[in-house]
């Protein structure tokens, strides 16, 4: 497959691309954030309340999901589901803008002799790992704020997004902001490598091989398939990241990502790595649809080009 054509408007096009991808990402994040909070609550259930996904039936899972959602709503109302949203918008806006905007230039910079599959995977994963490494502190704070969302107001650790950053720093120091950094890198790299590669490849196949126009139906089909692949590939790293970032830093349950993975496997088996998969896909599937739909239309409107 040939390389994607370069943008037609130089630096102005790049700056516009950054802004449009940031806007599209924040729209998608706001709409789907309650589902992300639900996913976090399911992933951090502890002790006797933990779901054994090896034997749980669909009806039992539905009951667990219902109890989880009801507890959060009963403790804090609708606002419980949006605990940590400002931090999430800052993180996802910046990370998405960086990955989407730099994907094309980096992809086009590789030698023509390299495999298109390799260059696409490298272009998306390298940027994703780098930018999410820088933004790991926001992911840590967002996860802890979300975990607080299901607690009674009097038992929450943080009063607000700003308060959470300062309180977390006072209690744990600067290095603690990179807690769970390794699985965060893995998740980001896997998510974007699978997501952008799948979206780009599916879209190009539909257009060039099957003769579809570059239109919303193609964006819909490509983003749907992209969401499925990216969620499945990156979910084990997401489970490990969530558990490490929510644990007590004074008496941590896990020594690191590898220790968490080993203990999770011994206790729950391979299926444990996919705890909260359905709520996460219920969030990331629509996220992909909304993001790519909004981004593609804004890009065509303001620049005349699509992704």
Region 171-182 average pLDDT = 85
CB 276 within 8 A of CB 43: yes
Helix axes 116-134, 181-204, angle to 10 degrees: 140
pLDDT for residue 67: 87
pLDDT confidence of 57, banded at 50, 70, 90? very low
pLDDT confidence of 185, banded at 50, 70, 90? confident
Looking at the domain assignment, is residue 4 inside a domain?
no
Q: How many CB atoms lie within 10 A of CB 81?
A: 21
pLDDT for residue 282: 87
How many domains would you assign to the chain?
Answer: 1
Looking at the domain assignment, is residue 38 inside a domain?
no
Over the stretch 104-143, which tens digit does the pLDDT of each residue have?
Answer: 889 889 998 898 889 888 988 888 888 888 898 998 899 8
pLDDT at 268 over 70: yes
Looking at the domain assignment, is residue 76 inside a domain?
yes
Domain harbouring 176, CATH code: 1.50.40.10
pLDDT for residue 9: 43
Over the stretch 220-255, which tens digit does the pLDDT of each residue have?
Answer: 999 999 999 999 999 999 899 888 878 877 888 888
pLDDT for residue 155: 83
| Alpha-carbon torsion, ordered 25, 305, 134, 109, to 10 deg | 150
Q: Give 3-state DSSP helix, strand, coil % of the chain, rounded to 5.
A: 80, 0, 20
Q: Which domain holds residue 150?
A: 68-302
Residue 254 structure tokens: 């896990």
The model carries a pTM of 0.82
Looking at the domain assignment, is residue 187 inside a domain?
yes
CA–CA distance, 305 with 285 (Å, rounded to integer): 24
pLDDT for residue 10: 53
Region 279-296 average pLDDT = 92
Looking at the domain assignment, is residue 108 inside a domain?
yes
Looking at the domain assignment, is residue 135 inside a domain?
yes
pLDDT for residue 11: 62
Looking at the domain assignment, is residue 81 inside a domain?
yes
Average model confidence (pLDDT) across the chain? 85
pLDDT at 51 over 80: no
Looking at the domain assignment, is residue 49 inside a domain?
no
């Amino acid at each position: 497959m040939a390389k994607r054509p370069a943008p037609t408007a130089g630096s102005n096009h790049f700056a516009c691309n950054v802004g449009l991808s940031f806007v599209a990402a924040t729209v998608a994040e706001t709409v789907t954030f309650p589902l992300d909070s639900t996913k976090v609550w399911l992933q951090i259930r502890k002790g006797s309340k933990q779901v054994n996904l090896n034997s749980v039936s669909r009806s039992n899972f539905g009951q667990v999901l219902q109890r989880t959602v009801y507890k959060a709503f009963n403790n804090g109302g609708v606002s419980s589901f949006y605990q940590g949203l400002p931090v999430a918008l800052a993180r996802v806006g910046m990370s998405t803008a960086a990955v989407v905007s730099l994907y094309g230039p980096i992809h086009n910079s590789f030698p023509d002799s390299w495999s298109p599959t390799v260059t696409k995977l490298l272009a998306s994963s390298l940027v994703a790992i780098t930018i999410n490494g820088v933004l790991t502190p926001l992911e840590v704070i967002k996860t802890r704020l979300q975990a607080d969302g299901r607690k009674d107001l009097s038992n929450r650790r943080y009063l607000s997004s700003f308060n959470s950053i300062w309180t977390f720093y006072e209690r744990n120091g600067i290095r603690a902001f990179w807690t769970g950094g390794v699985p965060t890198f893995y998740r980001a790299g896997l998510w974007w490598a699978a997501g952008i590669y799948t979206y780009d490849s599916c879209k190009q196949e539909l257009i060039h091989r099957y003769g579809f126009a570059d239109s919303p139906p193609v964006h819909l089909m490509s983003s749907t398939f992209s969401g499925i692949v990216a969620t499945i590939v990156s979910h084990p790293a997401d489970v490990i990241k969530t558990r490490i970032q929510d644990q007590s830093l004074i008496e941590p349950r896990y020594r690191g990502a590898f220790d968490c993975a080993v203990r999770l496997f011994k206790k729950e088996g391979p299926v444990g790595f996919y705890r909260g998969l359905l709520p996460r896909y219920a969030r990331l599937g629509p996220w992909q649809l909304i993001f790519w739909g909004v981004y593609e239309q804004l890009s065509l409107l303001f620049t005349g080009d699509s992704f």
